[in-house]
Structures are given as C-alpha cells and as structure tokens.
Amino acid sequence: MAALIDHAILKPELTDAEVDADLDLAARWGIFSVCVRPSDIPRSVARLAGTPVATGTVIGFPHGSTSTAAKVAEARRALDDGAAELDMVQHVGRLRSGDVAAVEDDIAAVVAVAEGRVVKVILETAFLTDDEVVAASKAAERAGASFVKTSTGFAGGGATVHHLRLMRGAVSPAVRIKASGGVRGLDTLLEMRAIGVDRFGTSATDVILSDVQRLVETGATSGETDASSY
C-alpha cells in the first residue's frame, strides 16, 4: 500500500520544521514518493537520501496558467535540483476554450525537457465537463505524459470515482492514473484502486497506512474489501 502513495507536502504556509516532519513521516512508512514545493526539492533530496522515497514536485502549480516557457524552465530547474517526477498542471483555461492543441503542446514541452522521467498531468477535474476530462486525458497521452491526475487539491474539488472512470477509459493502459484531492481514508483508496488507479496523492498518509497496519495485525478487513489483495 505504501508503494501507491505520493505524500503531498504542498501547503504554502508550511514551515521548514513542518516540511521536515512530513519528510520523516514519508521515510518511516517507506512510501513511493513525496510531492514537495519546488523550493523544497534540495531539502527533500538531502533528507531522504538513503531511503527508498523519491522526491517529486509540481510545475505550473496550482493554476496551470503560466507560459509554456516558464513551465519548461521550472521543470528544468526542478530536475537539476534532484526531482525524480514532475506533476504539471495543464492550462485549464485553454482546455475549456477548446484549444486542445495548445494544451497538448504545453504538456509535450515539459515531457521533452523531462527526458524520460515521469510527468503527471493534473487536469483539475473540478473545473471540467465530462467531455473536457476525456479530451484532456487524450491530449496528455498524445503529448507523452506518464500519468493523468485528477486535481491539485486547491480548486475546491478533488478526485471522484466518476472522473477517475472517465480518465481510465480515455487513455490506454500505457498511461497511469493518479487520484489526488480528498483521498483521506483507506476505504476511499481501495475503492479507487479497484477501478484502476495506480497512484494516490494525499496528505493523510499516516492515517491511511496506520489503518492498513491495524488490518494486517488483526487480520480484519475494511468494510467488505480485503486490503491484502491490493
């Protein structure tokens, strides 16, 4: 279960001490990665050295409306600082304007500078119609993205099963799905995992994995779902 989680450390008000505490939590659980603010990448890489936890960051966050050149420069600096994965926000306004080609080009430019590293495209599904969710997912795949991701967690809406099903159906098996925003409990994670979600962005890592640990230790199940099967 820990290998499914990207622990989010993105709130703008976090102090250095609070960031360090979250990094230590990630190391303690041995999760897949943390997703930190761009300015915290060097701190994260240094503090997590010797652990299996990767450092990821965000690009064009949280609105996605910076220029493509700015996103490329931000991505290049993040990679130079040691980021292993990039979660970029698509240009939501362009997508809603129907300019899918511009959205695709924007993503492709970041994918190119990533040079094979994982790029996740945040759709910000709370702002989109179903048709726009599908169009954005397909554009991300054409642009070479590794993942499509639901949300920043800063737009007043998070991941829903409905949107995740749309995303999973819109892209090929080569593109993975990340649910982010509102994933705060084990039951929610298991429900989303069952429909094909590959990674979860959450700040509730300790709560979720503590629940998993209790289930393992007691041999119990969460609702009707056996956590051991995931």
The average pLDDT across 16-21 equals 98
- pLDDT tops 90 at residue 138: yes
Question: pLDDT class for 49, splitting at 50, 70, 90?
Answer: very high
pLDDT at 156: 83
- Give per-residue pLDDT as tens, 165-224: 999 999 999 999 999 998 999 999 999 999 999 999 999 999 999 999 999 999 865 444
- Give per-residue pLDDT as tens, 64-90: 999 999 999 999 999 999 999 999 999
Query: C-alpha 187: how far from its chain's center?
Result: 19
As annotated, the active-site residues are 87, 149, 178
**Beta strand 85-89 pairing with 118-122:** parallel
Asked whether the bond before 52 is cis by omega within 30 degrees of 0, the reply is: no
- pLDDT tops 80 at residue 230: no
| Residue 38 contacts residue 74 (beta carbons within 8 Å) | yes
Long-range contacts of 24-30 (CB under 8 A, 24+ apart): 25/205, 25/206, 26/51, 26/53, 26/205, 27/51, 27/53, 29/2, 29/5, 29/205, 29/206, 29/209, 30/2
- pLDDT tops 60 at residue 99: yes
In the CATH scheme, what architecture does the domain 2-225 have? Answer: Alpha-Beta Barrel (3.20)
| Residue 55 contacts residue 44 (beta carbons within 8 Å) | yes
For the chain, domain boundaries? 2-225
The average pLDDT across 35-43 equals 98
